[in-house]
């Protein structure tokens, strides 16, 4: 089963690691059963529960929206080393590209390619990504929608995890497909359809 790392960076009460783990397991099992993903024991992800200030900053930085949101998902992308490694890697910007570093460029390229392939293989097999949930927003939304808070936590966890697996809701068709998955997972967890 997936491995969940939980980071709590807020004083607002939130679910336990065991609860998040249960919801992640239910989502992964559903996706595997519906042939949406290949089930592997090597999946890892981080769930970070934050306050509104941190979420607002993340939302501004990554989505250009200067307000807190309920959940953000950051799928892991394997490292692809640029041509010319290490010259073009951040931290080497102060080294002029025309300086002879007396380095065997073919050796660097072969080593860099091997490292990139190894890192990509490991990360593709194990690390899914990061999910950030704003605890105050969860509580506010649950209250406004007259839903049990725990149900809304489950919904946003499933929603964020689906984003990590590549689901989105930019178009009506994408939204319908994503919502159908959410409804099915939540139903298995004993939660009614959150969209009615």
* Binding-site sequence positions: 159, 163, 169
Residues of each annotated binding site for Zn(2+):
159, 163, 169
Q: How far apart are the first and last CA of the chain?
A: 31
What is the token pair recorded at 76?
């892991």
Closest CA to 138 of 4, 7, 10, 5: 10
Omega into 86 within 30° of 0, i.e. cis? yes
Q: Which residue has the tokens 């899914």?
A: 128
Task: Tell me the sheet residues that pair with 45.
Answer: 4, 129
> Which positions ≥6 away from 92 have C-beta within 8 Å?
86
What is the token pair recorded at 59?
């939302």
Task: Tell me the sheet residues that pair with 87.
Answer: none
For residue 125, CA distances in Å to 23, 108, 121, 148 come to: 21, 25, 6, 35
Between CA 64 and CA 56 the distance in angstroms is: 10
């Amino acid at each position: 089963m997936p491995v969940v790392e939980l980071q709590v960076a807020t004083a607002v009460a939130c679910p336990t690691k065991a609860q998040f783990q249960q919801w992640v397991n239910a989502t992964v099992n559903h996706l595997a059963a519906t042939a949406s993903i290949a089930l592997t024991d090597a999946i890892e992800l981080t769930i970070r529960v934050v306050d509104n200030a941190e979420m607002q900053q993340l939302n501004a930085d990554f989505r250009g929206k200067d307000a807190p949101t309920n959940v953000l998902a950051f799928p892991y992308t394997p490292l692809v080393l640029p041509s010319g490694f290490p010259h073009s890697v951040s931290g080497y910007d102060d080294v002029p590209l025309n300086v002879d570093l007396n380095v065997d460029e073919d050796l660097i390229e072969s080593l860099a390619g091997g490292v990139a392939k190894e890192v990509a293989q490991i990360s593709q097999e194990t690390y899914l990504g990061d999910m950030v949930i704003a605890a105050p927003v969860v509580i506010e939304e649950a209250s406004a929608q007259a839903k049990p808070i725990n149900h809304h936590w489950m919904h946003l966890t499933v929603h964020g995890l689906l984003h990590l697996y590549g689901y989105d809701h930019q178009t009506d068709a994408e939204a319908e497909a994503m919502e159908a998955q959410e409804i099915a997972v939540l139903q298995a967890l004993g939660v009614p359809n959150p969209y009615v």
